[in-house]
Amino acid sequence: MTLEGIRDRGSVISAFALLMVVAHAETAIAQHEDHQTPAQVQRNRAPGSPIPDSRSPIPDLGWEPIRCWRQASAGAVAIGEIFNVVVTCAVYEGDNALVIPDESRLGVASIQLAPFEILGGSHPPDVRQGTRRFFQYSYQLRIISPDVIGRDANLPPLTLSYRIKSRVGAAATLEGRDLSYVLPMMPIKVLSLVPADASDIRDASEAGLAAVDSLRFRSRMFNVLALAFGVLAAVTLVLALVPLVRSPRATAGARGNRVPDRAVLAQISKELAGVQSQAAGGWTADLMSGALGLIRIVAAAAIDQAISRKPAPDDGTTPEGRVRVRQGLIRPVSVTVSSATTADDVARARATRGAAFSTTRQQQLDGLQTGLLALTEALYRREPGRDAAPLDEAVRHAIRVSNEIASERRSIHLRRGANGGRGQQPPWAQR
């Protein structure tokens, strides 16, 4: 190889090396300028040289009008998992110019981020730092499409319109045309609900030690409450069974005074009907005595006089001069009743309280008084002959009055207990 060839080859190598150095220097300068502020870049460059910025759609102004970036709370999500995406933008607001972005398309109600579903969002207050104003929008997203499992789902590009209002004089401003800033799409990895090597699906348990201790405390509390309610139920059951284990006589004595007059009059009406059927063959002393005792009870009820009530004997017998009355289905009570009301008592009640009785009650008392006089005279007269017509009429009238009074007192507002709605019965009424 000749000397001239070597020189030509060396010149080529030197020129190539120079080009490599220049390129490396320009790359270093560009990387250095990326970490500098616009003012620092302008000072380091020659006067009048533009600032290269491929992200700005307008000619180089010496400052960056707008810059936006997105940040997701998770780079990979599962189907249905909720995650957050935050969009932050910084716009220039200086003395010489003002950048006005259109934020209407960033609201939760207007932005579209398909295939992701927007569940909600927020817009915190703006922050200003020097010549920059920072505004931010946060979105809550999720994806439920099964077609993207195991793939990347891209958040769509976001186009933000803005205008630059420049100040050209002391008080004059110039508003530029609409410009656009495009935020590139952002990929999100969508995971499956179970690992790829899982043989079945199992729900993960969240039973930590604190949760186990809390459940044990709740179980002990429920056991204590169950024991307390059990004891309360047992006490209530004992209190309910005490009246059942008491003697029948004590029970009858306690409840006998609560047998209502309507039950007594209903039984008296049946007894009078029996006497009437037996008297069809002729009146005897026993039939007249029984009819007199029954009509006395009806008369006592008609003038609101107390009726004597006593527990019935356990052997099933009924004392002479008294009538057995049985009342109640579930816990029946048997008592014996009687009354010492006479025709004079009826006459005295009509004389003293005649204004309180209705016309119907006056007629009833008139017939009862006549019947009591007829039965008393027929029972205690010396002559053996007896007129059956007044006796039959006395029984028929007593049956009718007994049914009418029982019907009146069947009303819930007029029901009375054993005392007929009055105080304690006098001692003579218990004979």
Residue range 158-172, pLDDT digits in tens: 999 999 998 877 667
pLDDT higher than threshold 90 for residue 95: no
The residue whose two tokens read 């054993």 is: 418
**How many domains in the chain?**
2
- Pair (163, 263) in one structural domain: no
Find the largest Cα–Cα distance for the chain: 189
Q: Cβ distance 333 to 263 under 8 Å? A: no
Q: Return the half-sphere exposure (C-beta side, CA atoms, 13 A cut-off) of residue 311.
A: 13
What is the structure's pLDDT at 243?
A: 74
What is the structure's pLDDT at 415?
A: 46
For 58, residues 6+ apart whose C-beta sits below 8 A from its C-beta are: 65, 164, 176, 179
Q: Tell me the mean pLDDT in the region 317-321.
A: 85
- Give residue-wise pLDDT tens across range 174-204: 888 899 999 999 999 988 765 556 565 555 5
Q: Does residue 248 have a cis bond before it (omega within 30 degrees)?
A: no
Question: Beta strands 66-72 and 308-311: pairing type?
Answer: unpaired
* One-letter identity of residue 400: R
Closest CA to 163 of 174, 183, 178, 180: 178
Would residue 37 count as lying in a domain?
no
pLDDT higher than threshold 50 for residue 98: yes
Would residue 331 count as lying in a domain?
yes
What is the structure's pLDDT at 330?
A: 73
For 69, residues 6+ apart whose C-beta sits below 8 A from its C-beta are: 87, 88, 183
- Give residue-wise pLDDT tens across range 243-281: 777 655 555 555 555 778 888 888 898 999 998 898 888
- Pair (116, 260) in one structural domain: no
The C-alpha angle with vertex 201 and arms to 199 and 204, in degrees rounded to 5, equals 120
Distance CA 402, CA 286 (A): 21
Q: Tell me the mean pLDDT in the region 45-74.
A: 63
pLDDT bin (cut points 50, 70, 90) of residue 380 is confident
Would residue 215 count as lying in a domain?
no
pLDDT higher than threshold 60 for residue 57: no
Q: Return the half-sphere exposure (C-beta side, CA atoms, 13 A cut-off) of residue 236.
A: 6
Q: Per mean pLDDT, which range of 8-12, 278-282, 427-431 is the poorest?
A: 427-431
Q: Cβ distance 186 to 176 under 8 Å? A: no
- Pair (269, 408) in one structural domain: yes
**Average pLDDT across the chain, whole number:** 77
Closest CA to 99 of 52, 163, 39: 163
Of 167, 191, 215, the last residue of a domain is: 191
Express as a percent the part of the chain with pLDDT over 90: 27
Q: Cβ distance 95 to 210 under 8 Å? A: no
Q: CATH no. for residue 123?
A: 2.60.40
- Give residue-wise pLDDT tens across range 35-56: 344 444 444 443 333 333 434 4
What is the structure's pLDDT at 424?
A: 44
Would residue 198 count as lying in a domain?
no
pLDDT, greater one: 51 or 392: 392
Alpha carbon 207 to its chain's center = 30
What is the structure's pLDDT at 72?
A: 93
- Pair (148, 273) in one structural domain: no
- Say whether 268 sits in a helix, a strand or coil: helix
- Pair (390, 279) in one structural domain: yes
Alpha carbon 392 to its chain's center = 69
pLDDT bin (cut points 50, 70, 90) of residue 90 is very high
Of 176, 191, 206, the last residue of a domain is: 191
- Give residue-wise pLDDT tens across range 354-368: 778 888 888 888 988
- Say whether 399 sits in a helix, a strand or coil: helix
- Pair (144, 278) in one structural domain: no
Question: Beta strands 132-142 and 117-122: pairing type?
Answer: antiparallel
Of 191, 211, 235, the last residue of a domain is: 191
Would residue 100 count as lying in a domain?
yes
Distance CA 396, CA 407 (A): 17
* One-letter identity of residue 388: A
Would residue 419 count as lying in a domain?
yes
Residues in the chain, overall count: 431
What is the structure's pLDDT at 228?
A: 96
Strand ranges across the sheet with 333-338 = 308-311, 333-338, 323-327
Q: Count CB-CB contacts under 10 A for residue 135.
A: 19
What is the structure's pLDDT at 235?
A: 94
Would residue 35 count as lying in a domain?
no
Distance CA 369, CA 346 (A): 6
Would residue 136 count as lying in a domain?
yes
pLDDT higher than threshold 60 for residue 109: yes
Q: Count CB-CB contacts under 10 A for residue 126.
A: 12
- Pair (134, 282) in one structural domain: no
Domain hosting residue 53, numbered range: 46-191
